[in-house]
Amino acid sequence: MRCTSLKHWALYSAPLLLILAALWLGFDTERDAALFFKDFRAAHAGLTMFMKFVTDWCNPLFYLVYAGMLLTAWRTGNRERLRFVLVVLVVQGLVAGLAVHFTKYLIGRPRPGQGHWYEPLSGRAAQEALPSGHTAEYTGWTLPLALRLSRAALTVLLGLSLGLVGFSRIYLGWHHPTDVFFGWLLSSVGGFAAVIIADSSLFRRS
């Protein structure tokens, strides 16, 4: 694994990890954080509306980005870009589409304000907090771009946007900080896997 990739991963991840660290240090428990943001949302309607916009449209934006990359690569005959996009789509489907939702279903952690008891295999959305699917999906879209392009400014921008997306899930009361952390962690593995596979000889024609 290239040292450059690790540096960009650290730079990309730093905003989100700093936000999570501040929440863990600032509140005694994650329940205290949830109660604080519940009251804060009620008193700050404008900010709450903005956070809802972020959480609703963060991932659809990258549907358009990757669709544009796929179309451009196909029309120009850029096989390397086409391969990269297709690998990201497959890994994203396996990690964010299957692994995350299976883990949510298997663990059954209650969302903030939905009780204290875990209910594995319940199938209820209120018991599917861990890990954060939004965070996992967004990491799955953006981390491969940061690692592949290796441009510091872009990496920082994508990292800041990830921090905002992860925080929006906590602010809106959909997830605990640990849910967001494990969503990021799971898809970080997927992001590295996508870049490594895209750059390797695996599935290439000889």
187 closest CA partner among 80, 58, 93, 66: 93
Number of domains the chain contains: 1
* Cα Rg of the chain, angstroms: 18
Read off the pTM: 0.95
In a domain, 70, yes or no: yes
> Is 205 within a domain?
no
Q: How far apart are CA 6 and CA 11, in angstroms?
A: 9
The verdict on residue 127 lying in a domain is yes
| CA nearest neighbour of 173 among 28, 33, 27, 57 | 33
Burial class (CB in 10 A: 0-12, 13-18, 19+), 75: exposed
Q: For residue 116, what are the CA distances in angstroms to 110, 112, 170, 193?
A: 7, 9, 17, 35
Whether the Cβ atoms of residue 147 and residue 5 lie closer than 8 Å to each other? yes
Helix axis angle, 133-149 to 177-199, nearest 10°? 40
Position 187 in a domain: yes
pLDDT digit string (tens) for 61-108? 999 999 999 999 999 999 999 999 999 999 999 998 899 999 999 999
What distance in Å separates the CA atoms of residue 159 and residue 13, rounded to the nearest whole number?
A: 6
Residue 204 in domain: no
Q: Confidence band (pLDDT; 50, 70, 90) for 115?
A: confident
The confidence score (pLDDT) of residue 64 equals 97
Residue 141, domain extent: 3-43+52-199
Residue 206 has pLDDT above 60, yes or no: no
Tell me, what CATH number does 86's domain have?
1.20.144
User: Residue 191: which of 131, 141, 134, 130 has the closest Cα?
Assistant: 141
Name the average pLDDT for the chain: 94
Distance CA 183, CA 178 (A): 8
pLDDT per residue as tens digits for the range 156-196 = 999 999 999 999 999 999 999 999 999 999 999 999 999 99
